Amino acid sequence: MNAIHDDTAGVGVKIALETTAGQGTALGCSLEQIALISEGVKEHSRLAFCLDTCHMFVAGYDLRTEQNYLDLFRRIDDTIGRKNLRVIHLNDSKRKLGSRVDRHEDIGKGTIGVEMFRLIMRDESLKDIPKIIETPGDIENIQLLKSFV
């Protein structure tokens, strides 16, 4: 990333580090790993963070209750900083908590359920952050998410 930043000096584009499911030897399945990766980057102002709900869940972050949701965002504040959260991928999961297998499912039809998505959509601190759905049932997912607001 430092080499990319050097080669693109003066360009106002950021690199978004996205959480991973932790499959195989992939890095970035914990907030601490994302923070460690970002520590090695000289130009922190050119980094951003992308939270993928499915990836976080299968990496072991239980997002199914309000308390766990609040705990997650406290951890984000303590590790990478909420100000660096620039995009959220809203995906339910076909796989179970901690499985480390990245398989997206339509919202409310997977193992995460709807509560965490309801919390995200109602969270005023996240209202200006773009949210992307990466599942086949996009129209139905959008309608469901809008109903939570």
- The pLDDT tens digits of the residues spanning 30-46 come to 999 999 999 999 998 99
pTM flag (> 0.95): no
Spans of the chain below 70 pLDDT:
none
Check: CB of residue 149 under 8 Å from CB of residue 118: no
How many residues comprise the chain?
Answer: 149
Look up residue 40 and give its two tokens: 């090695």
114 is in which domain, residue-wise?
Answer: 2-148
CA-to-CA distance for 64 and 136, rounded, in angstroms?
22
Task: Give the pLDDT confidence score for residue 31 in this predicted structure.
Answer: 95
Give me the pLDDT at residue 137, please: 76
* Tally: H helices and E strands in the chain: 6, 6
Locate the DSSP E strands across the chain: 15-18, 47-52, 85-90, 92-93, 104-105, 131-133
Domain of residue 122, CATH code:
3.20.20.150
Give residue 65's pLDDT. Answer: 95
Q: Closest by alpha carbon to 123, among 51, 16, 47?
A: 51
Which residues 6+ apart lie within 8 Å of 102 measured at CB? 20, 21, 23, 54, 55, 58, 95
The total number of structural domains that make up the chain: 1
- Kindly state the helix (H) or strand (E) to which residue 148 belongs, with its residue range: helix 138-148
d(CA 146, CA 134): 16
